[in-house]
Amino acid sequence: MSTTQPIRSKQLLHDFKEYYLTKQPNSRNYTLILIGLNTALRINDILHLTWGDVYCTEHSRFYTHLLITEKKTEKETRILINRELQETLLSYRKTQTSIADTDYLFPSPRKADSPLSRYQAYRIVRKAAEAVGIEDVIRCHSLRKTFGYHAWKMGTPPALLMEIYNHSSFQITKHYLGIEQDDKDAVFRDIQL
């Protein structure tokens, strides 16, 4: 089995993000992908998000931070809901007919009171990746890895990424970043001592 990869190319990442916005418009699928790319959460945690996790009904506004206990690590994590994600959630919210705080952001169309399945989430991600010509192995976990890869490329220290991911070792984080020979070559090319 091949290793899940991040989406490294900025152009392919842009095309991938835009697929469910412009090519095959679907606000649920677009929002799912944006949450994955902007929060670095595992797909299981994303699928179990409710409207009450992101939206304060009492004040009719989105929270500034997402506060959840990760299912895999059982660690509490606090994630800023950035402007792009707030705008996407607002647009998605407008497509919903009735919303309760306990409703899943991504409800199953087949099972009442259940979130979208992991397999359906995989199909959503895979369809967009194939449609825009991404040849790497792209799965739901690629969203999490893509966040880390691009954060690292922007200069985020790996130790901070380790903290964001709630990883127990730097080796795991290093594997997530998907560092390739091209990345190593760039360091040697740019260092002109």
pLDDT at 95 over 80: yes
Tell whether the model's pLDDT for residue 1 goes beyond 60: no
Confidence tier at 44 by pLDDT (50, 70, 90): very high
- pLDDT tier for residue 169 given thresholds of 50, 70 and 90: confident
Average pLDDT over residues 128-151: 94
Task: Answer whether residue 56 shows pLDDT above 80.
Answer: yes
The pLDDT score that the predictor gives to residue 191 is 81
Amino acid at 71: K
**Ordered structural domains, the chain, with CATH:** 10-190 (1.10.443.10)
- What pLDDT shows up at residue 23? 95
In the prediction, which pLDDT does 148 show?
Answer: 92
- Locate tokens 């969203």: which residue? 143
- How far is Cα 110 from Cα 63, in angstroms, rounded to an integer? 29
Phi, psi of 90 (to 5 degrees): -65, -45
Residue pair 104/48 in contact by the 8 Å Cβ criterion: yes
User: How do residues 2-43 score in pLDDT, each as one tens digit?
Assistant: 688 999 999 999 999 999 999 999 999 999 999 999 999 999
Q: For residue 51, give Cα distances in angstroms to 32, 46, 173.
A: 13, 11, 30
Position 2 scores a pLDDT of 65
**pLDDT computed for residue 79 by the predictor:** 96
Active site amino acids: 42, 72, 141, 144, 167, 176
To the nearest whole number, what is the mean pLDDT of the chain?
92
Average pLDDT over residues 97-118: 92
